[in-house]
Amino acid sequence: MTETKTRCHAGGRPPACEIEERRQHLVAVATRLFLSKGYEATSLENIAKAAGASKTTIYRNFGDKADLFRIIFNGYTESLWPTLSDVQTEGKSPREVLTAVGALMISQDIFSPDSVALMRLIYHEAPRFPELTRIFGEIEQTVVDVVAGYLRSAQRRNQLRLTDPEWSAIQFLELIWGILSHRVLVGLASQPDDAERRRIVESSVDLFLNGTLAPGRHPQGDRADKDKTTNSPTEKV
């Protein structure tokens, strides 16, 4: 440990580890300013001054303000998306796979204070800054693509019957994430505990896989059931 630190801070040209430390420092400072001041009110000049760096250094390492924000947002989500892609599907039922995906989508990290603050910032400022909309859209589509890819493979194995796997993926994610995220973002709910997250995931997977129609009921409702009974041949005694 000591040897590595000494080598990292040796004289001459800054080694890779020191460059990475400076980069992470810039990201941390930029994150703090974005979350406290908002996207519009935070400039690269503010970030450079607070970090003790130059705008040239920021441009060289990150690009413009939108590029820097994208890196920060990706940092909050990159721990989820690779894990989402690595969900084991071989030999697993759709219920098992979708339960694992759902648990990741509302994990404790997703509703951490900084993550919630970042999402609030995007919802608040995205209408005025198309670059924020693009960043959010790219991340969201990544998740949809992963889930839709699984649904297509399950459909090919005749495990699921779907008319549109991509739209089905969106519907499933909304069941898991939709109302809960909105309630947390506006302050109507706090981060759910383990029991609540489990209840949300299990009920959402049940609804997605089974629907709400009772066994034996006609999709067109009670009228169709009545017509079916009326039009059936009358048994002669």
Mean pLDDT throughout 100-126?
86
Tens of pLDDT, residues 145-174: 999 999 999 999 999 999 999 999 999 999
Q: Are residues 51 and 87 in the same domain?
A: no
Decide if 137 is inside a domain. Answer: yes
HSE-up (13 A, CA, CB side) for residue 155: 14
Tens of pLDDT, residues 3-17: 344 455 555 566 778
Tens of pLDDT, residues 12-56: 566 778 888 989 999 999 999 998 998 889 999 999 999 999 999
pTM comes to 0.72
Decide if 230 is inside a domain. Answer: no
Q: What is the DSSP letter of 12?
A: S
Q: Closest Cα partner for 30 from 18, 54, 41, 46?
A: 46
Q: Provide the domain limits for residue 157.
A: 78-212
CATH number of the domain where residue 95 is located: 1.10.357.10
Q: Are residues 112 and 46 in the same domain?
A: no
Q: Across the chain, what does the average pLDDT equal?
A: 83
Query: Into how many domains does the chain fold?
Result: 2
CATH number of the domain where residue 26 is located: 1.10.10.60
Q: Using CA of residue 164, residue 110, residue 73, residue 97, what is the dihedral sign? A: negative
